[in-house]
Structure 1
Amino acid sequence: MKTKITEMLGIKYPIICGGMLWLGKPELCAAISNAGGLGNVTAGNYDSGEELRAALQMTKELTDKPFGVNITLLPSFRISQETYDDYFRVCCEEKVAFIEVSGAPATRYLDQVHAAGVKIFHKVGALRHALNIEKLGYDGVFAAGIEEGGHPLNDDVTSMVLTPRISETLKIPVVTTGGIADGRGLAAALTLGAEGVMMATRFINTRECQVHENIKQEIIKRQEQDTTLICKSLNLQGRALKNELTQQVLDIEAEGKDLDRIFPLITGQRVKKAWVNGDVEGAAFMVGQSIGLIHDVISCQELLDTMVADAEKILRQNLARFQ
């Protein structure tokens, strides 16, 4: 399955792993890349550029295939501007294949990244933002629909509409993210004009993802309606699994903005512990509506092989129907 993305990044399948705080580590990243996709080391897992460098070097020991790094440029109590500078510098020095940026534009880093021969994409939720990213000189964009886990743009536009709007307008490659979990989603994204897909939630339920089994089984049990949008009143909209904690956040928001009460509930350290101890009610798990499509725990190789085989079958069948 060749697209502009597979050719640009030197990968077998047009499937990219998105940023996964506390989960996007060398073992999972290498497993995805070895399976033919593009694995992802999430920079926010590390407190310094040198810690990130150690993770990148470990990943290189586990795979000889291309892989990327997610850098989320959002206000952080833990990550300073100097640390963000170090993240980009280390990525360039280590010659990663790809950087995925979300949040604020990485304008100050673009010349540095391109000089190092690293490709850089930005995640956007609106055509107006995609146009700006293209103008700035990025190599491509992720069209992030409201279905995605994490922090979708509050325009609330679905992947089904956003992907064709952006792909019909931009000259740089577009990758769909939000609501993708299987070959049907991959086939749909390609049909809508995307050059590939990015997933994160689906990779939680792989054998290589270091998550407590309670969490994986909870995702299997849940349906597409079992996520909710929290922190809208704080202009930091986030899609998370419905549980006791997210309901507590929503209740506080209904009473009025109160960051002092909300922040301790949504801190990254809380969810970091929960991924390990399996407490399904005590943290904000930023997962997407694609949980309704997840029914098992399989290897990254099986996931990617099946996705591509199913997508190719669907595309062939649909072509045959109209011949």
Structure 2
Amino acid sequence: MIQTKITEMFDIEYPIICGAMMWICKPELCAAISNAGGMGNITAAIYKTEDEFRGALRKTRELTDKPFTVNITLLPSINITPEHHKMYLTVCAEEKVPALEISGAPIDKACGMEYIDMLKKAGVKLFHKVGSVRHAIHAEKAGYDGIFAAGIEEGGHPLNDDVTTMLLTPRIVESVNIPVVTTGGIANGKTMAAALMLGADAVMMASRFMATQECDIHANIKDELVKRQERDTTLICKSVNLQGRALINQTTQSVLDVEREGGGLEKIIPLITGDQCLKAWETGDVDIAPMMVGQSIGLIHEVLTCKELLASMAADAEAEIGKLHKKLIA
């Protein structure tokens, strides 16, 4: 058994956490991951009203009695307003969720220090997903309980600093005194063992959970992730300061064409709307949306249950660490 500050903090079996995924991280998948020994994720932006969001949290608790995390992304959005952000934080405090994955701006700057105080008083553990040492240091000073160190390999929106997981994790570990979780490029036991060797207390992954039986997306998407390799992602929206890593397909090519021609955000937005992503997950059309996946897709070789995935990752990580130990004493 691998025991870390994270497994002790949340009393979970494996130091494996699911990252946010729009339209995917709902109660059923969240509970499946938590019941398998990790920590599932509820992505708040899926829910537009307080009743819907609170209902999702309560449904998750009906499906599992294990800890889970909630993602709240504090960035400008067409459909999600600053009022939504404050509502999500308030409901999480009222429902006493185990942990928050905060992406984008830190809570104190986006909503005010009073929201951090409210959440900590409710016993909610706060983690900020960052791509730089300076942001990790700020999070610790603001009172966060841990850091998600997001390398440039990750899907979604890695920081423009473009620092890789191999360097970012140890730099943040040596710079803060709170637990660090590695995300970006993690998909199997070998990469999990590597993250632990770099000083992380757990790993976070999202793309790998898409290729699980419990993930409610079309089988075509899962098959595509198994087929694609690590070279099959690209960075989009760099020109509008909204850098994202997504699967290479017709939509991402169109976005890159707009950027090369000097087109601004108003021309890009219709190509990257969340509605298009939802349509892709439902229909299995791999070309109609910017599917935000990481380079770790090169390590996805089969579709497993969440239980099979987490158990095999932990066993493989232990085996890899054992191999290293043997090399050291040889």
- Superposition TM-score tier, normalisation by shorter sequence: over 0.9
Matches within 5 A, 1:288-299: 288-299=294-305
Counterpart contact for 1:176–1:197, Cα < 8 Å: yes
**Equivalent position of 2:195 in the other structure:** 189
- Structure-2 residue corresponding to 1:84: 85
Query: Counterparts of 2:21 and 2:268 in 1: how far apart (Å)?
Result: 22
Q: Quote how far apart the aligned CAs of 1:50 are.
A: 1.8
CA distance in 1, matches of 2:258, 2:67: 44
How many Å apart are 1:261 and its aligned residue? 1.6
Question: For the residues of structure 2 that align with 1:218 and 1:20, how far apart are their CA atoms?
Answer: 17
- d(CA) in 2 for partners of 1:276, 1:242: 19
1:176 matched to which residue of 2?
182
SS in 1 for 2:134: helix
Cross-structure match for 2:64: 63
Which runs of 4 or more aligned residues in structure 1 lie more than 6 Å from their structure 2 counterparts after TM superposition? Answer: none
Aligned equivalents of 1:142, 1:236: Cα separation in 2: 19
Matches within 5 A, 1:1-323: 1-107=2-108, 108=112, 109-323=115-329
TM-score normalised by length of structure 2: 0.97
1:82 deviates by 1.6
Alignment gaps of 5+ in structure 1: none
The Cα of 1:316 is off from its aligned counterpart by 1.2
**C-alpha displacement at 1:258, in angstroms?**
2.1
Distance 1:156 1:182 in 2: 23
Give the alignment's Cα RMSD to 1 decimal: 0.7
State how far apart, in whole Å, the 2-side matches of 1:134 and 1:66 are.
Answer: 22
Deviation at 1:276, TM superposition (A): 0.5
Partner SS, residue 322 of structure 1: helix
| CA distance in 2 between partners of 1:142 and 1:84 (Å) | 20
Tell me the distance in 2 between the aligned counterparts of 1:80 and 1:145: 27
Query: What TM-score results when the alignment is normalised by the length of structure 1?
Result: 0.99
Counterparts of 2:29 and 2:162, CA distance in 1 = 30
Counterpart of 1:311 in 2: which secondary structure?
helix
CA contact (8 A) 1:226 1:289 kept: yes
* Corresponding pairs, count: 323
